[in-house]
Amino acid sequence: MNLDDLEKLENNYDIELEMFELMKTLFPICRSITGNGVRQSFDIINEIINLETKEIPSNTKVFDWIVPKEWNINDAYISDLHGNKIIDFEKSNLHVVSYSIPIKKTISIDELKKHIHTIPEIPDSIPYHTTYYNEDWGFCMSHNDFLKMKDAEYSILIDSNLKNGSMTLGEYYIPGQIPDEFLISCYICHPSMCNDNLSGVVLTTILAKHLSMQKMRYSYRFLFIPETIGAITWISLNENNLSQIKHGLIATCLGDPGISTYKRTKNGNSEIDKTVEFMLENSDTEYKILDFFPTGSDERQFCSPAFNLNVGSLMRTPYGKFSQYHTSEDNLDFIKSEHLMDTFSKYLKTIFIIENNRKYVNLNPKCEPQLGKRGLYHVLGGKKNMQEIESAMFWLLSFSDGNHDLIDICRKSKIKFETILETAKKLESN
Ligand code: ZN
């Protein structure tokens, strides 16, 4: 990937629209860690990139876990005894606790209350809850609607099924000039919520599409998997190839109005850490760097002791740190396409830098080479940034000792990466 490729894709309004359109299409689908919602989402993504999907049967053992039964849902509601629906799955798929077992009955309000989740502090929003590994059922609703329930009995339905089936994983691979891989992973298991996690799904899809049209040095692998169990399963299936993964990012929470946040890899000083931090230092935007912590998303699995891959997470406001998190307020109004595009450009810039970052070795290390006789010094009618390029040449010649990469030289010289890169190429060709 070169500078021209980067400039065509950065801050590109067509890409911004493309991501937002995809978000709108995927938003209504009821996804979970297994089931038809994931498959339906993959069918839509498949129109953009050719996903390779795998069905992993329920009860497959993956390290210390087993792949759960497959869950699907058709309908759900709470209604009064006259048939007036109080909440309706058709209106929001967050109304049903994900993985609820089927139930249909008339129930007393006292019994029903034990299965209702609300957020009294945000009384208009519906919370998001799951019960993946504990067979149970439940409803989620706004606290305000809950307070209106005064009848002694209600009629409830959850028309779901939980049975042996399979869990679907999606993957997309772009071969590069070298087999070393850059991994970008997102999770596809949340129902109608945008920042967590559709922003990750749409950015990953559209980034994969555009990178597939460029000539890349690294090979790129994009994962679309259910969080935790999907990552554990993918890692267990690919255990023997993990050493190919040199750099990685978990894509989540990418479209909210907050500043960019980078969560470091567990190693904390790998090339992806250095590159993202350097990109953010030069982004002219506010940002925050967090050391690795063992909760969060799938970096937990990729950075587990046996693998400890260099996988960090570049996000905006992290999960759990915005009030809309895991509620119906994390919707199409909360995230904005321009924030999503800003994050997309930051992913691209990171990739551009890591693709081009090198440690060069000065082949004329015995004092300075004579630049003038090679037409590299004080060229008449030179470009107006000639002074900067000449300065870059001296920095590069002095620090190209095999120990300093281009990022180090940029940091020392305060010269832009693009200028240092262009100048390094000029020196190399001379
Ligand atoms: Zn989540």
Q: Which residues, in sequence order, are CB contacts of 316 under 8 Å at separation 6+?
A: 195, 253, 254, 255, 256, 257, 258, 259, 260, 261, 339, 343
Measure 43 CA to ligand 1 centroid, in angstroms: 22
Q: How far apart are CA 117 and CA 128, in angstroms?
A: 9
What pLDDT was estimated at residue 258?
Answer: 98
**Tens-binned pLDDT, residue by residue, of the chain (430 aa):** 999 999 999 999 999 999 999 999 999 999 999 999 999 999 999 999 999 999 999 999 999 999 999 999 999 999 999 999 999 999 999 999 999 999 999 999 999 999 999 999 999 999 999 999 999 999 999 999 999 999 999 999 999 999 999 999 999 999 999 999 999 999 999 999 999 999 999 999 999 999 999 999 999 999 999 999 999 999 999 999 999 999 999 999 999 999 999 999 999 999 999 999 999 999 999 999 999 999 999 999 999 999 999 999 999 999 999 999 999 999 999 999 999 999 999 999 999 999 999 999 999 999 999 999 998 987 765 566 788 999 999 999 999 999 999 999 999 999 999 999 999 999 999 9
One-letter amino acid of 342: D
Sheet (strand 85-88) strand order: 85-88, 70-79, 153-163, 103-108
> Around 361, how many Cα atoms within 13 Å sit in the side-chain half-sphere?
2
Measure 394 CA to ligand 1 centroid, in angstroms: 49
Measure 300 CA to ligand 1 centroid, in angstroms: 14
Q: How far apart are CA 71 and CA 34, in angstroms?
A: 6
What pLDDT was estimated at residue 377?
Answer: 87
- Identify the residue whose tokens are 């350097």: 278
Measure 381 CA to ligand 1 centroid, in angstroms: 58
> Is the whole model's pTM more than 0.85, yes or no?
yes
Measure 16 CA to ligand 1 centroid, in angstroms: 23
Measure 250 CA to ligand 1 centroid, in angstroms: 13
3-class DSSP assignment, residue 18: helix
What pLDDT was estimated at residue 378?
Answer: 78
| HEC letters along 19-71 | HHHHHHHHCCCCCCCCCHHHHHHHHHHHCCCCCEEEEEECCCEECCEECCCEE
Measure 299 CA to ligand 1 centroid, in angstroms: 14
